[in-house]
Amino acid sequence: MSHPPRARRAAALGAALVVLVAPIALALPAAASATANEVVYTADVNNDGNYAVVLRDLESRQVTTVLPADPVEKRIYDDPELSPDGAQVALSTDRGSISFDEGIAVVGRDGTGFRRLTSPPNSGDPGAPFVIDMSAAWSPDGKTLLFSRLTTNSSTAPATVTSALFTVPAAGGAATAVVNAGDGYTGDWSPDGTKIVFAALTAGQDSGPLTVINADGTGRKPLGPTGLLPAWSPDGTTIAYATITARDSDRTRAEDTAQIATVAATGGTQRTLAVTQPTSARTVAGYPTWTPDGESIVFDLFGYSSTAAVPPGDLWAVDRQGVRAGRVTATPGDEAQPHVQGPAPAPVSAGVASTYTPVTPKRLLDTRSGVGAPTAKIGPGGTVDLAVRGAQTAQGVVPANASAVVLNLTVTGTTASTDVRAYPAGTPVPGASNVNALAGQTVPNLVTVRIGDNGAITLRNSGGSVHLIGDIAGWYSPDSVGAGFAPVDPSRILDTRAPAVGAPAAKVGPAGFVDLQVTGSLPTSDGTTVTVPADARAVVLNVTATGATASTDVRVYPTPTDSSVPEVSNLNVRAGQTTPNLVTVAVGAGGKVRLRNLGGSLNLIADLAGYYSPGAAGRFVPVAPARFLDTRSGVGAAPIPTTADGVADLKVAGARGVPMNATAVVLNLTGTGVSATTDVRAFPFGAGTVPTVSNLNLTAGATRANLTIVKTGSDGRIRVRNGAGSVNLIGDLAGYIVG
């Protein structure tokens, strides 16, 4: 038996390239899923040099074995990639070859149906050139595999390695050289399959100038930077690749440093993602693979010493902006060469641009007392269809053309952990949730829900049994009857803690209230002012209760001309808790709104997010709930928790059908997997300083949601910042503001 392929590759390519391509920990691509992003890779679980191919759901972290390790024959699986339909994996392997020649093969994602597609032309003579086929890449239509054919000529001193690109039909057939790519190494297809990017490898080198050609071999063009392992972004605009950024002066040791970089697909200057070298230790980042929405890159990170801060063989991820990087996996075994796949992000299903009509809060639903639905708890998977159009409010009937409703939704009497989802009646159940509650909790959250064609919205409970309560705050309609929206930078206009703003520095006692001025020039906690016009009809406030001495509720409503108190509440607070909730409230007498505490004493905080007035240009466009951010699974940001002072920069305007001119977004923001008490703040990207106002207040182990309205910043992004510990962030879009 000849030397195993790993040793051949090591001898052929030199130390730096070996680190990048040798199967220290090999990765298969992920299966196509209707709902989840997945990553596949091989892992040496027992640290014995034998590798199993595994598939990992990025959200649930569930791992499934695709190909078990082979400790007897020690067959290897290298450079894998999943077919576009998720049914097969292409890889380079010595399996199926009695002489251990490494060629291209395909296998089903369940490990069945192994087929070898190429057999390198090796004669077996000791002095003859030695050939391996590697780095298979599926064409977007799944019909063709692009691969690199490496030839090592040992008759020269030192041995030289050359590479060329070939294709082979996925169904089987002859391998064909790619025209004008006789020096091509580690190639990838453009998303439309019309172009190929590769490293142009000079004999004896471990990387080369990145080059693009048309699929027929014409139009060869260098991009500028030098690197290897290029990966084309899903939107076709950017190439990610590995690049060697520091050479070890000891060429015998050759512990070179490599990082992930990007360059425009049309060519230009290299942009090195510095965070892909997380410490000053020499590390190698390689095998970049894009998440389906193109907002992050998963890669493998290898450290030369097992005692270094970054040990060999972990999977990492980095946001597209290069701001945040971290481990996706960290196990005692080696893991590397990831490939991510999942559903392409769908465009939003948008309604019509609408104005807002605020109302005095009124209860439309209470399953405890039979308001709006039968008197009964909602069981697991159970739903309530709540009629909205035609509902009577103090400001009139919700009209037949109402496009969306603003509702304070409360879950109570929960028997198990659950989430509740609000969505247009008659549409599929979304993946996005609105309220998360544990057994025994009472949890409110403001929801903005597009109304279904039948004039109703559906509320669905996931687990256990619950009572649901819904209090209307207003509606949107596609006419000029209502008010337009004007977003503002987050501004704290009420804080009853010293030094106070908007009210005296004192807790609000039982049945006590604060009448908060919300029109005019309003002082803020940072010493500036924010202006709300006198004709504002409603304001959007993030109201927070803190320091509560007893369980209570807080009610926010237009300051009345009498002593009347509405039946509906906005916050449900337990003693000692800090609880926020977004409130959209009509402006009352004197340009004020009232915040009333039921029992005990507490401090109240209110952060202004915007206002509605006849002169404001903003129009709300409701959408069917759509998940835009999930740091558990790599939607909208890298699939890693957000650490202390860390940020997730979320692209909304200009993404998935949301127009680039959207000035603000309505996002249900959820924090989960919380490791320490923290707050989360959402604000325009590029705003400079972090605002003092928060949107979520979280304790260790909590899962909590809060609706936010956030101005978009440069590039259509918003920034979401975590204060302490680590937390996974989820953001579900309910709509956006244009105009």
Which residues make beta-bridge pairs with 238?
264
Say if residue 550 is in the same domain as residue 655: no
Collapsed DSSP state (helix, strand, coil) of residue 199: strand
Q: What pLDDT does residue 154 have?
A: 76
CA triple 559-565-568, angle to 5 deg: 105
Grouping H, G, I as helix, E, B as strand and the rest as coil, residue 715 is: helix
Determine the pLDDT at residue 10.
31
Q: Let me know whether 300 and 406 are in one domain.
A: no
Say whether both 124 and 221 belong to one domain: yes
The two beta strands, 418-424 and 456-461, are: antiparallel
Is residue 350 in some structural domain?
A: no
Same domain, 463 and 516: no
Say which CATH number the domain at 537 has: 2.60.120
**Residue 435 in domain:** yes
Domain span holding position 641: 620-738
Residue carrying the six token digits 């803020």:
524
Q: Give bridge partners of residue 709 from the DSSP assignment.
A: 666
| Calpha distance 94→515 (Å, rounded) | 76
Query: Could you give the C-alpha distances from 112 to 87, 108, 289, in angstroms and in order?
Result: 11, 5, 25
Give the number of other CB atoms < 10 A from CB of residue 176.
12
CATH number of the domain enclosing 269: 2.120.10.30
| Domain identity same for 563 and 503 | yes
**pLDDT for res 82:** 84
Q: Are β-strands 221-232 and 208-214 bridged in parallel, bridged antiparallel, or unpaired?
A: antiparallel
Residue 518 lies in a domain: yes
| Bridge partners of residue 522, in order along the sequence | 530
Flag whether 380 is in a domain.
yes
Query: Is 117 in the same domain as 9?
Result: yes
Task: Assess whether 226 and 274 both reside in one domain.
Answer: yes
- The reply to whether omega before 499 is within 30° of 0 (cis) is yes
Shared domain check, 371 and 297: no
Q: Which helix (H) or strand (E) holds 17?
A: helix 15-21
Helix%, strand%, coil% for the chain, nearest 5: 5, 50, 50
H-assigned helices in 433-577: none
Q: Domain count of the chain?
A: 4
Residue 307 lies in a domain: yes
Residues 31 and 177 in one domain: yes
Cα–Cα distance measured from residue 559 to residue 557, given in angstroms and rounded to the nearest whole number: 6
Rounded to the nearest angstrom, the gap between the alpha carbon of residue 533 and the centroid of all alpha carbons in its chain is: 37
User: Coil, strand, or helix at residue 275?
Assistant: helix
Domain final residue, candidates 477, 496, 518: 477
| DSSP-derived 3-state class of residue 6 | helix
Q: Are residues 461 and 497 in the same domain?
A: no
Question: 367 and 278: one domain?
Answer: no
Name the amino acid, one letter, at 439.
Answer: A
Which of 477, 501, 533 is the endpoint of a domain?
477
Residues of the chain with pLDDT under 50: 1-34
297: its two tokens: 């890159």
Q: In sequence order, what DSSP letters do the residues of 700-712 get, joined into one string?
A: TT--EEEEEEEE-
Look at residue 15 in the predicted model and tell me its pLDDT: 37
Among 592, 613, 634, the domain-final residue is 613
Mean of per-residue pLDDT scores for the chain: 91
Name the nearest CA neighbour of 643 among 676, 669, 685. Answer: 676
Whether 42 is covered by a domain: the verdict is: yes
Amino acid present at 243:
T
Domain identity same for 20 and 79? yes
Query: Quick check: is 349 in a domain?
Result: no
> How far is C-alpha 258 from the chain's CA centre?
26
Residue 346 lies in a domain: no
Q: What is the pLDDT of residue 432?
A: 92
